[in-house]
Amino acid sequence: MIATDIDIDIESMHEHVVVRRGARSGLPIVVAVHSTALGQAIGGCRLANYPHWRDGLDDALRLSAAMSDKCALAGLPNGGGKTVVALPPGVTPDGATRRAVLHDVGDVIAGLGGTYATGPDVGTGPDDMATIAERTPYAFCRPVGAGGSGDSSEHTAVGVLAALHALCAERFGSSDLSTRSFAVLGLGRVGGHVLRMLADARATLVASDVDDSRRALAGAAGAAWASPQDCLTADVDVLVPAALGGLLTPHTVPKLRCAAIAGPANNQLDAPATADLLHQRGILWAPDIVVSAGGIIHATAVELHHETSTQATVRVHGIADTLTDILRTARAAGSTPAEAARSHARRRICGAHR
């Protein structure tokens, strides 16, 4: 593997990309800084298996670009970035090896001089951010005991609920969730919170997870249990994807029986063109980069911009206004919400360059 810094001009959509072999772990570490037009770039640290380290590089480039749009739409004074540790197939670092790779990540980020800060992503959590913070101050979502804001999953779920109110108001003419049915696909930390919040709102619920032990959580919330496939194609008002991405494809979209979709899963579309397929079927899709932003909004407001948790929560509830604006713009233009979201994000980022 090459250990190098790669400078990419802004026309190539990334400002700076670093690829390094970890001095302690020997593992490939990629940090992609997509944009600092709005301020310090931020993005999650992903520890994931890839067939080749260049696949991890491709992931970092794609995800960091999406993060720039996410920050812009969330109104954050930040740009997008991403950290990817490209693990060989079948490798899961733990113990001393995990600590070594996280320290390697911290050293790479420290070398960027504050232009980028990282948080949890697939394969990492708050405790890992505390370990990275032993090498650099530019790590957020650390545990409360380590001076951070803690687990962001509940704040992400609060943002999802705000988005669901806005989505229902646009699609059904009322933001009242008690009159609607929802299929929650994925009952991890965020999905579980969303399910409980929808139950508190007296919504009609269907739920599923690949882990059958989550059936108890569904039962406690009064949700009917279904297989993942049946949950995906349930005859409900709103589908709430809350697991891994790539769920909406040319193969799955024709099978959907929902009227709208909004959930915290990232990268729900397998390709941008799938947004057009949803539009053609009359299914209103809330862009995931808007719906899932609550955790990052709260964590950065508290840890990077030193706001109170109350102030940060007000910002999270602002997701409803942001989504309402995007959906109304799309309706007026006859375009997809995905196109409207991209346009909103580009205007804010380009405005910062002037």
82 is catalytic: yes
By C-alpha distance, which of 295, 266, 305, 293 is closest to 40?
305
Rounded Cα distance, 191 and 263, in Å: 9
Cα gap 127→123, rounded to integer Å:
12
Amino acid at 106: G
Of the listed 82, 214, 279, 315, which one is catalytic?
A: 82
Identify which of 282, 284, 198, 165 has the alpha carbon closest to the alpha carbon of residue 206.
Answer: 198
Partners of residue 21 on adjacent β-strands: 28
Query: Distances in Å between the alpha carbon of 102 and those of 34, 40, 108, 174?
Result: 22, 21, 10, 47
Burial class (CB in 10 A: 0-12, 13-18, 19+), 255: exposed
CA–CA separation, 33 vs 19, rounded Å?
Answer: 12
Tabulate helix, strand, coil % of the chain (nearest 5). 45, 20, 35
317 touches 156 (CB < 8 A) = no
Name the residues annotated as catalytic.
82
